[in-house]
Amino acid sequence: MELSDKTARQIWQEVRANPSRARFGFGRKAVLVNIDLQNAYTCTDRFKTAYETDPAQLAHINGLARRFRALGWPVVWTRVAYMASGEDAGIWGTRTDTPDSLQNIKHGSERAQFDSRVDVDPVRDVVYCKKMPSAFFETQLQSLLVWHQVDTVVITGGSTSGCVRATAVDSLSRGYRTIVPEQCVADKHESYHFANLTDLMLKYADVLDVLEVQNWLEDQHAMLHTAKGD
């Protein structure tokens, strides 16, 4: 095992700055999967479980969602919420039992609601309530991607070290090119955040500047209009 006195942030900056790093790249069609952008995890002024890394995170995500809709590509939002008993959290909900505990994010509660700052289209977008870290686990996400014939999964939300990472690993395992826009994911502590960005980049996903993802989407939009003769 290699030892280092560098911080997780410093290691991430070195990995990100490597011009020769290999990439999976974008494919032909993508889905946008926005993970758990609900009050429990985004409203830092109200809930101890919330976190913020980039203050513009939600604005960036809303911008990506608009671009995906303009292309006719799927936009997915997930959130976690549990029964009054908490039994549907399974073993994950047994370590603690405080008002802040995972299994105490109840259906219909303020903690379970999407942050009012995120632009969820109730008609156009797909919303899943998930119970475990990965957005793929026991949801209809896989079937949705097959129906839309996508080959690329763009992941935003939180946390970087938890549900984002779990979804990225499952995405790659299912054969999808996986993209994580750096400014669109967040975590509770910078050590977890940057360590997992590094691990994602080296193993499971392309971690890109959000501007690069936006530019790719704009290129796809231009090609679509050219093909239609607009």
Which are the catalytic amino acids?
163
Cβ atoms within 10 Å, residue 76: 23
Q: What is the rounded CA–CA span in Å between residue 118 and residue 65?
A: 10
Q: What is the rounded CA–CA span in Å between residue 5 and residue 217?
A: 39
Name the CA radius of gyration of the chain, rounded: 18
Provide the H-helix boundaries in 141-209.
141-148, 165-173, 190-199
Cross-strand partners of 16: none
78 token code pair: 């997930």
Cross-strand partners of 126: 76
62 token code pair: 């809303």
Over the range 154-191, which residues count as b (16 or more CB within 10 Å of their CB) and which as e?
bbbbbbbbbbbbbbbbbbbeeebbbbbbbbbbbbbeee
